[in-house]
Amino acid sequence: MGIEATGTGEAAASIDAGSGQWDIARVESIYRQPFHDLLHRAQCVHRQHFDPSAVQLSTLMNIKSGGCPEDCAYCPQSAHYTTPVAPEKMVSVAEVHAAAHAARAAGATRFCMGAAWRAPRGRDFARALEMVRAVRDVGMESCATLGMLTEEQAQQLAAAGLDYYNHNIDTSAEFYERIITTRSYADRLRTLEHVRSAGIRVCCGGIVGMGESMRDRCAMLVTLANLPRQPESVPINMLVRVAGTPLSDSPKLDPVDLVRTIAVARILMPASRVRLSAGRSEMDDALQALCFHAGANSIFYGERLLTTENPEVKRDQDLLDRLDMAASR
């Protein structure tokens, strides 16, 4: 049984130009305000831009698993670490087509393809372009996350009809250097510029629970909110601690900090889809409900993320039903 998209759920949401108005000290004071004041404010902002019962559903597919040359300390797909993930060949266009069909039948509206690449190259990139066309043929919104892009590659993806490109800044510029050494924060921002100038919508967020400070979380949200145009989608991932990665023993994040981070994201980026992303398998229903109340209005939907578990479709349908939430684009 699928979830039916209402298609009417949202108020006319226009994405704010990132006006550069946010600074870290001000955002820290928002983050730190009394919990119920913060949630009230986030819920008010949410209702000015969205139907609070509407949720956008994205399904992920890993089109190239493992063996990545980057050293992201959180990632089980990095070739630098010995993890349960084995490198595999890129999947076929037919497999993508079939998976997109199944995702649409289950109620998802967006199909997101992830590849464990530093950057796409040659024939692999040509195949990724075909995959974008295949997803469009199925009638879903398409999203891809393939690593760094040149200006030309972004334009080719746009020409293939790509709707969204996911490229996360992950954390603050300061903390980033402790998490990834094989590329810079500036590299990340450059790809985002290429995506924007090609006319593709931006999906950009980060990870909480990596041992970052409250200030790092706020600084990350300030960077996102002050982009020349705010990202249309903002995934907030809670670290999935995978054996063999340098962050496998990170202390568990206080769930209150996850909720605060989502509320602040909602306040700073009122018209963006804030996605409660990785880590939901470890969250109970009450915590997820609180995250929706704080302004999250999108999830990854389907039994797998890229290499790790996500809640079963039936469990999500049941939770959304009980919260009177329905799917919308």
Interacting residues toward ligand SAM by CB under 6 A: 74-75, 77, 114, 116-117, 145, 147, 167-168, 170, 207, 237, 239-240, 242, 278, 306
Residues that bind ligand DTB (CB under 6 A): 60, 76, 114, 145, 166, 168, 205, 235, 237, 240, 277-278, 305-308
Query: Based on CB atoms, which residue is closest to ligand SF4, 237 or 298?
Result: 237
Q: Does residue 237 bind ligand SF4 (CB under 6 A)?
A: no
Q: The tokens 């040359």 sit on which residue?
A: 69
- CB of 124 vs ligand SF4, minimal distance in Å: 14
- CB of 241 vs ligand DTB, minimal distance in Å: 10
Distance set, CA 159 to CA 94, 110, 140, 174, 247 (Å): 21, 18, 16, 35, 38
Interatomic CA distance for residues 322 and 311, integer angstroms: 16
- Joined tokens for residue 22: 């946010």
Query: Based on CB atoms, which residue is closest to ligand SF4, 147 or 206?
Result: 147
Number of H-type helices and E-type strands within the chain:
11, 10
- CB of 144 vs ligand SAM, minimal distance in Å: 9
Query: Based on CB atoms, which residue is closest to ligand DTB, 164 or 292?
Result: 164
- What residues act catalytically? 68, 72, 75, 112, 143, 203, 275
What SS3 class is residue 235? strand
Interatomic CA distance for residues 82 and 59, integer angstroms: 27
Interatomic CA distance for residues 241 and 247, integer angstroms: 6
Choice from 56, 59, 77, 277 touching ligand SF4 (CB under 6 A): 77
Distance set, CA 327 to CA 107, 138, 307 (Å): 8, 18, 25
| Cβ atoms 62, 114 nearer than 8 A | yes
- CB of 126 vs ligand SAM, minimal distance in Å: 18
Of these partners, ligand SAM, ligand DTB, ligand SF4, none, which one is at the site of residue 299 (CB under 5 to 8 Å by kind)? Answer: none
Which residue pairs from 27-31 have beta carbons closer than 8 angstroms and sit at least 24 positions apart in sequence?
A: 27/218, 27/221, 27/222, 27/264, 27/268, 28/214, 28/215, 28/218, 30/264, 30/267, 31/214, 31/217, 31/218, 31/260, 31/261, 31/264
Of these partners, ligand SF4, ligand SAM, ligand DTB, none, which one is at the site of residue 109 (CB under 5 to 8 Å by kind)? Answer: none
Of these partners, ligand SAM, ligand DTB, ligand SF4, none, which one is at the site of residue 58 (CB under 5 to 8 Å by kind)? Answer: none
- Joined tokens for residue 273: 């889809």
- CB of 5 vs ligand SAM, minimal distance in Å: 25
Burial of 269 (0-12, 13-18, 19+ CB in 10 A): buried
Of these partners, ligand SAM, ligand DTB, ligand SF4, none, which one is at the site of residue 270 (CB under 5 to 8 Å by kind)? Answer: none
Of these partners, ligand SF4, ligand DTB, ligand SAM, none, which one is at the site of residue 78 (CB under 5 to 8 Å by kind)? Answer: ligand SF4
Query: Based on CB atoms, which residue is closest to ligand SAM, 10 or 282?
Result: 282
Query: Based on CB atoms, which residue is closest to ligand SF4, 54 or 247?
Result: 247
Query: Based on CB atoms, which residue is closest to ligand SF4, 205 or 295?
Result: 205
- Residue 2 identity (one-letter amino acid): G
Q: Does residue 247 bind ligand SF4 (CB under 6 A)?
A: no
Element containing residue 62 per DSSP (H, E): strand 54-64
Choice from 22, 56, 70, 103 touching ligand SF4 (CB under 6 A): 70
Phi, psi of 200 (to 5 degrees): -90, 140
Residues at the interface with ligand SF4 (CB under 6 A): 68, 70, 72, 75, 77-78, 116, 147
